[in-house]
Amino acid sequence: MKSLKNSKTRKIIVYVFLALASFIMLIPFIWMLSASIKATQEVFSVPFRLIPTTPRWINFKEIWTEIPLLTFIGNTTFLTIVVTILQLLTSSFAAYAFAKLDFKYRNKLFLMYIATIAMPWQVYMVPQFIMMRAMGLNNKLTAIICLQAFSAFGVFMMKQFYTGIPNDLCEAARIDGMSEYRIWWKIMLPLSKPALSTLTIFTFVNTWNDYLGPLIYLKSESKKTVQLGLKMFIGQFSAEYGLIMAGSVITLIPVVVVFLLLQKNFVEGVAATGIKG
């Protein structure tokens, strides 16, 4: 009986701690939402008011006219969708080879490829830039697409999931005369929806929020992404905090929508890929 009470007490303490930690993490987002419907002079007013007396909803309209936000969102959407699709294809295809095919130096090649995860991008971004410039891809979205179409993390995560799929399925398919391409397309991909959903969320969020990559390669205003657009807006109108927060809220919506649509498979994918060796 005493041990049961101690167990309940520990659970209550853990839940209270998690609830407190979650609230602390949400404070910046709550402040952003509150500031997005305030006038500039109200953003830092004391005492703090979560909802202003007269909400300034016009901030969400003015942000579209102050900067070409629609162009920036269009560029970011195109870039994010293309990169996400390419990473899903390349990561799942390479992971299938490493997990289900037996070829010479397979484990060594996988180890060398995965080791690149530990290398910061800042180490090799200059050689990459020189290479892209030599190929004539400077100031083009194609440069970022080429660089982000492959992901060592994605290959690692998908391989972890494929390892848990019985090899008997592949062997049976080979006996039936299916090629490796058809096995990957007809069997492995349908079974890996949780892992693909997880990789989709990670890739979508990272690409949508990427700032340094577009900053290096994209120079003209018509090619810039939404993150560069917000930075440009902050540089030009640094005092208009209400408009800046309104723009931040707008750019956050696609990320939230994608996560909500895939959150069920996301939890399953994390659990499935995390418990494998």
Q: What is the pLDDT of residue 110?
A: 92
pLDDT of residue 17: 93
pLDDT of amino acid 261 = 86
**Angle at Cα 92 formed by Cα 87 and Cα 96, nearest 5°?**
150
Does the residue 130 lie in any domain?
yes
In a domain, 32, yes or no: no
To 10 degrees, what angle do helices 152-163 and 69-100 make? 50
Would you state the structure tokens that stand for residue 167, as one six-digit string?
Answer: 């090899």
Is 72 a member of any domain? yes
Residue 20 lies in a domain: no
Whether 31 is in a domain gets the answer no
Q: Which CATH number fits the domain that encloses residue 191?
A: 1.10.3720.10
| 47: preceding bond cis by omega (within 30 degrees) | yes
Does 221 map to a domain?
Answer: yes
Q: What residues make up the domain containing 112?
A: 58-274
Please tell me the total count of domains within the chain. Answer: 1
- Please give the structure tokens belonging to residue 55: 């909400």
Give CA angle at 98 (96, 103), nearest 5°.
Answer: 120
Residue 27 lies in a domain: no
Regions in the chain scoring below 50 on pLDDT? 274-277
pLDDT score of 276 = 44
Q: What pLDDT, on a 0 to 100 scale, did the predictor assign at position 235?
A: 59
Note whether residue 270 is domain-resident: yes
